[in-house]
Chain A
């Protein structure tokens, strides 16, 4: 029964349509969420089916899901709070390193024993996930203290330099991180007896985590707290006057973004089974930034679209076009020019603008 993905995606699509028709029109946020959730689920479930005809698409989709989580987490900071960070790969990187180290450093008796114990109880992967989150919280909480007071370019520079410190650690502290050789992870732990070494199983595991992260982040940015972040982005002074402790709000947003970045790092370690310094260098941070900017900040879905475009170009188009970065550059320029024209941001901004104008012309 290999076409089970088709069945699931059909059910997801059906559920999405039913919810769309049945749900109250006034509750836009819930409605939008249900649509996005089932839409993503449908596409996600369809991919392994497509993979039979287009080999590799499952692998690329898997990577898109990992970087989608990273880009969405940056969106909390960049899109909603208005703090563009150039160091977001730091949490992504430390978490993936933490997972890889715990899985491979047999000489670190305590951590390795804890991991083996968890694994023997079928909880290895939960252990790693918790570890990734804890490490990300720790780093984000510390870096946040240093970075949050600044804004704009200064915030960008501080996050960048903090991330470079982490990169330096990964690169130079070879006793722990193996330096530029990177760490190879032998295999994935199983989840309640499900063998995740099978790429097919792991794909659905990633999809599950992705949807979970998406849901939580969606809830987060649409909660009253999330609205205060938008308020801070629009006018921090006004928010202060209204009695909000804006520093604390930004700090919490920073940590939450760090957590999801850490979860993306956890997925990345298990996906690529190889961690090395390029995973947390500037280029990875910048790539995440591009994903958000390209797709449309403050949309959550936008960064996922941005991640899809960048990853598809990197992995698929590069097969046919040697100079694929040119295409990427062209897409950027076109997107930026068109969004300037419409006075919106990113691809999703353009889409909603076009839709909005056509809808208004109909009415």
Chain B
């Protein structure tokens, strides 16, 4: 019996010790923790994100000035509770200087308080929950992606200027959907448009027939916010049901991540985003070309955002002479004006980026577009209008904007709904 006890203790001790690793921190090392899905449903998006960040590090040979960059990837399974534990691991075990990554808005909500609690900076490349840089700000949270409603504010204005009067919205039933639609509705109705119906299919809906049946026939356009597989099936079923109205949408309804899998039904889809792979600048062409060469895929806003996050970290470090101090680093981040792939970017005083918002239209471009090496005859998000330097509160001032509640299913109220 005693022998058994000893064996039991030995087994447990062994299972812990096989993980022993030299945890002494080298002086000239800069450790970045990275949370992305490696397995699970979001593994492909996670790969795009990690590739974007890694590509920058590769280009710099994992050297930020005199510092050697240690990039530690943790699999978060795209689940908020897992993120919390993995972030704790990065902080406690790897003693990272800062951490980044995460995909869902809920991940942002899970990680931001943790960053405040543990006094480690969290730089959010993707999580877009509005309130994280608006009403519920956390101390060590900085964003380099976008807020959900940031792109749809100018898009609402644009749609109104195109003469659309009656628009139906259909969006995934979660915070990202509410906020994207809310932003669109606010500026669209402020300019005189009318939202005549709001529909909320749950995430992962494959069959839109019950929703399409509720569509009024006299709509001028539909505004969508689809994620994942929904993005693929909605345009097909919408066109299949005989609707001829133009489709507008949030960034994930037709981003570069999903475009290669879409067909002709997506042509003409108009979405707003802070990035498009078809952006005709020298920087972006080089980026798309290299990304295609390295990973055999079209660059998406996931990869661009993460690439830009790495770029910002590097520049901010350079500004403080590579001597990391959290508060000085934060100040350096705030003072940066970076010419990123997506265009000029800087942080507002709420630590949210101000950048161009592009109104993009899906087109098919025959042949090897500009010699970028992307598969011929691909669909591209052609930029048809640029709104320069758009912040998260556009067109209001921060004070005025923050007086309204956060966008939700019931805000703004649907005054013209039938």
Contact = CB atoms under 8 A, between A and B. Distances in A.
A276 B39 contact: no
A181 B104 CA distance: 9
A350 B261 CA distance: 49
A54 B19 contact: yes
Interface centre among A47, A54, A174 (most CB of B within 10 A): A54
Interface in B60-98: 74-75, 79-82, 84-85, 88-89, 92-93
Interface string A42-72: 1100110010011111010001000000000
A43 B110 CA distance: 31
Interface stretch (B4-12, B227-235, B316-324): B4-12
A181 B75 contact: no
A237 interface: no
A64 to B, nearest CB: 10
Interface string B19-44: 11001000000000000001100000
A319 B114 CA distance: 21
A276 B20 contact: no
A316 B18 CA distance: 10
A322 B13 contact: no
A184 B19 contact: no
Interface in B337-372: none
B138 to A, nearest CB: 9
A279 B109 contact: no
Given A278-B81, A319-B19, A182 B106 contact: yes
A13 B8 CA distance: 12
A59 B19 CA distance: 14
Given A20-B2, A50-B13, A179 B39 contact: no
A356 B185 CA distance: 71
Contact of B20 (A53, A172, A174, A181): A53
A315 B85 contact: yes
Interface residues of A, number: 46
A279 B174 contact: no
A182 B109 contact: yes
A272 interface: yes
A20 B110 contact: no
B108 to A, nearest CB: 9
B85 A63 contact: yes
A121 interface: no
B80 A274 contact: yes
A57 B80 CA distance: 21
B277 interface: no
Given A182-B109, A184-B109, A312-B15, A55 B93 contact: yes
Interface string A335-360: 00000000000000000000100000
Contacts of A16: 5
Contacts of A47: 16
Contacts of B16: 47, 50, 54, 57, 316
B89 A315 contact: yes
Contact of B1 (A35, A180, A184, A186): A35
A186 B138 CA distance: 12
A176 B20 CA distance: 43
A209 interface: no
Decide if the interface of chain A is mainly helix, strand, loop or mixed: helix
A319 B16 CA distance: 13
B1 A46 contact: no
Contacts of A46: 9, 13
Interface residues of B, number: 41
Decide if the interface of chain B is mainly helix, strand, loop or mixed: helix
Nearest to B15: A312
Nearest to A186: B113
B254 interface: no
B175 interface: yes
A56 B339 CA distance: 40
B17 interface: yes
B106 A55 contact: no
B12 A322 contact: no
B1 A59 contact: no
B39 A325 contact: yes
A55 B38 contact: no
Interface string A13-56: 10011001000000000000001000100110011001001111
Given A54-B19, A325-B39, A181 B175 contact: yes
B266 interface: no
A318 interface: yes
B129 interface: yes
Contacts of B9: 39, 42-43, 46
B22 to A, nearest CB: 11
B329 to A, nearest CB: 24
B247 interface: no
Contacts of A179: 174-175
Interface in A156-182: 172, 174, 178-182
Contacts of A312: 15
Contacts of A42: 9
A362 interface: no
Contact of B75 (A54, A274, A318): A318
A276 B15 contact: no
A231 to B, nearest CB: 29
A16 to B, nearest CB: 7
A115 to B, nearest CB: 19
Contacts of A2: none
A12 to B, nearest CB: 11
A164 to B, nearest CB: 13
B105 interface: yes
A182 B110 contact: yes
Nearest to A268: B81
Nearest 4 CB-CB pairings of A with B: A56-B93, A55-B93, A184-B113, A181-B109
21 contacts: A35-B1, A39-B5, A39-B8, A43-B8, A50-B13, A56-B92, A57-B16, A63-B85, A180-B105, A181-B105, A182-B80, A184-B113, A187-B117, A273-B84, A273-B113, A278-B81, A278-B82, A279-B81, A315-B89, A320-B19, A324-B75
